[in-house]
Every structure is written in C-alpha cells, then in structure tokens.
Amino acid sequence: MIAKTAAAGGPTLLPEVLAFTSSLALDRALIREDLVGSLAHLTMLSRRGIVPQEQARAIRDGLVSIWDAAQSGDLQLPDEEDVHMAVESLLTAKLGPAAGALHAARSRNDQVALDLRLYVREQCAEIFSALSRLIGALVERAEVESGTILPSYTHRQRAQPISLSYLLAAYGAMFTRDVDSFGFVLSQTDASPLGVGAIAGTSLPIDRQLVRELLAFGRLTANGLDTVGDRDFALDYAYAASRLLVHTSRVATDFVDFSTSEFGFVRLDGAIACGSSMMPQKRNPDLFELVRGKAGAGIGNLVTLLVDMKGLPGGYNRDQQEDRAPILATGPLVRGVLDILQLGLSRVTFDKMRCLAAVEQDATQATDVAEALVQQGLPFRTAYQLAGTLVRACQDARVPLAHVTTEMAQAIDPRLNDEVLQAARVRGAVARKTSPGGTGPDSVREQLEALRESVTRAKERAESIPRLSTLFAQLREAPL
C-alpha cells in the first residue's frame, strides 16, 4: 500500500482498518476524472520544469495505458485507500519510484475536490440532454392535444376546465426551472481547485492558471483552506437533483391517478402497464409509482450530504469521504428517472370523451359565468354569489352547468342571459382565458414557444460543457 506505508514510512494498516477506511469500492467510478486531472497536473509540472520532460512522458504513457484499460473494461485496481492511490500504485508498478513525481504540489485533498467537480460537470451535461429530450417530448405532445379538454384540480377537487396542452405545458414549466437550476450548479462547479495542496498551497513554482485552462474551468478557487473543505457545489447538485425528482414525482402522481377507474382519463399501453400476481384484471401504473418513489432516494442523497458537512471544522476532514455514495448515485438516478418518465408519457393515451365528460358533468365553468357577469358591470362578489346560486340550482335539478337552459337561468335572475351562459359551455370557457399564462389557445401557444426555447437552452448548455473524453484526448497529445 502506498498511502500509509511506502509513502509515509509508517507501519502497514490493519486489514480491518483498511477495509473500514477505504473508499475505493465507490470512487473507482471516478477513474476517468482522476486520470484527466492527473494528465493536466503532469503537463503543468513538466512545463514548469518541476518534472523533467522524459520522466513526464513516461508517466503520461502510463496514465494513457490505465485510461485505455479502463475504457476496455480490463482495468484491475489494486487494494488501496482510494482511487487516487490506486492509480499511483499502478504507475509505480510500471515505472518504479519515478512515478512518485506526479504527486508533487498535489494532495489527495485537492485531487478529490477536482475529481468531484469534473464528475458533477459531466453529469450536468447528461442531465441537460435528458431534460431537453423530456421537455421537447412534452411540447410535441402538447401540440397535438390542444383539443383535449379535462378538469384542472386544486385540493384534488375539480377546479376549472383546461386543455391537455396547458397541463403538459405546466409540466414543461417545472422542468424548465430545472434547466436553470442545473445551470446554477454548473456555475458553482466551474472553479479549478487543483494546486491548493492539502490546505495551504505549495512552495513549488506551479501554474494553477495553466491547469485551469487545460481542464476548461472558468476560474480558480480562491482559498485553499476553503477549497479542500468545500462541498457546496455538491450540495447545490444534490438539491437541484432532489427538486427535479420532486417535479417528476408530481407528474407521476397525476398519471397514477388518471389511470385509475375512478378517473379513467388515460389508458396505459400494455408495454408499460404491470400486472398482478393474483388478480388477472389488473393494469397497474408501476412505472409512474416508481418514478414517484425514487424521489425519496434523491432527497436522501441531499440530506446525507448536509448531515455529513454539518459541524465540520475548516479544512478537509475524513468525514467528507462519505460524500461519494450520494454524489455518485445522484446522476444515474436522475437520468434514469427522466428517461423512463419520457418513455412512460409516450405510452399513455388520453380518453378524450371521458376527460370532456368529467368537465361537462360538473360545474367547473362557474368562475367563467361569474366573470361574464363582471363584464356586464356587476361587482365580482355579487357575480360570484349569483353564479353560486345558479350552480346550486343546477345541482338540485341534476343538470350539469354546461347544459343549463336560458329559461332555468333567468328564473333565478334575469341577468343570467344567453351571453353570460355562453361562458358555461366547456370549450368556450377554455377559449375565454386570454390572460398570459392561462389555458387559452393563444397563451398556450406562447408557453410552448417558451418551452422550445428552453429545449434549445438545455441542448446548448449540454454541448458547451467540456467532456472528459475530449479533454483526455487533448491532454494525451498536449506538449509537455
């Protein structure tokens, strides 16, 4: 072992201690980030004359061979405390003591800070791409569903009639905020920590700006003591992920409800509906239930990180090794949920007649009747009370508000004339909503256009992020 024997000159760790303290089982997932960071650091050391060029070239060849083995699936990492020392151990086996030159002016403290920032940045690129696909799919579906009318809900009670396009645009609006949220994560991650060493910098003549440029970061971290103890970027990442998963959970809950016999708004394609081991008639929305359930894991990742960091003193502390599990689990979780939600939504069919009937058999247009009275000069509260009287009369007579007759309405109040009653017609009620952000056709078209812009923004952000494979390809050919 390098970390606690050959490097430090101390006794060999007890196997039980090594097993307890090792993070290798988890952070082997950071092997690509570690190799990219090492290549950038090595390039800087060589250009600054800290490591001779021939020695640097041999170390680079060793790093490239490890990358190639990792890419082919043939890499076997030795038992070390972490991925950083495992890489150094492999290099030492190839090159002997000369491999140790790579660690000049570098600590595992700033090394892991770099690896995690590179990892989060890479995951942001994947999440931006997944969000762009999901929002784009919502827009495409909304464009063909403008004629589908269904109830909206407050308190899970029928509220007002809306178009399905409007509902899908509402989902898109949530995910657009997630695009912006991960944009903030990206901005917080965009600082190169390498070169601050263990906590206080180095006396060697390094060039942190060169490393920053090689790794395509926008700026340097400002203070070494803060840098090695900082996981705020990871907290921002976990928060953005947990909030996104709350959004997917809310969408999934709608479709769990909509697919029930009680709602009956959607039918699940047989390719996504799950059956029962005992009840042959069941057609269960397991996909959407699991989308909802997996939000708990994302929230748990955030809480784990918060509790891990709470109360730590300044600088690096080994407690921070516990950040690996939640950070590494978050990206695959989010991407998996986004992809399966997009798939699930593409395999549901809305029952247009059932949706329309749910509106027409109720009194969801009552507000529109009241507003039509306001347009004729009544104070809103007076109009509200008059519309309420009409609704109660309809309920007593078992007549849906959409089918109330002029005679019945005017028996209640002469002001309930034909023009006002037009607002009680379901499609008319939807079309009357002319305010921005509403369910009216013009407003929905504007909302969909804004969503298309967010799709473009998400794609552009994904494409703007320097990817690890590209950086490695550049660094393996960079002059030393």
Which of the residues are catalytic? 155, 276
One-letter-per-residue 3-state SS of the chain: CHHHHHCCCCCCCCHHHHHHHCCHHHHHHHHHHHHHHHHHHHHHHHHCCCCCHHHHHHHHHHHHHHHHHHHHCCCCCCCCCCHHHHHHHHHHHHHHHHHHHHHCCCCHHHHHHHHHHHHHHHHHHHHHHHHHHHHHHHHHHHHHCCCCEEEEEECCEEEEEEEHHHHHHHHHHHHHHHHHHHHHHHHHHCEECCCCCCCCCCCCCCCHHHHHHHCCCCEECCCHHHHHHCCHHHHHHHHHHHHHHHHHHHHHHHHHHHCCCCCCCEEECCCCCECCCCCCCCCECHHHHHHHHHHHHHHHHHHHHHHHHCCCCCCCCHHHHHHHHHHHHHHHHHHHHHHHHHHHHHCEEECHHHHHHHHHCCCCCHHHHHHHHHHCCCCHHHHHHHHHHHHHHHHHHCCCHHHCCHHHHHHHCCCCCHHHHHHHCHHHHHHCCCCCCCCCHHHHHHHHHHHHHHHHHHHHHHHHCCCHHHHHHHHHHCCC
Beta bridge partners of 274: 284
- Contact (Cβ atoms closer than 8 angstroms) between residue 301 and residue 211: no
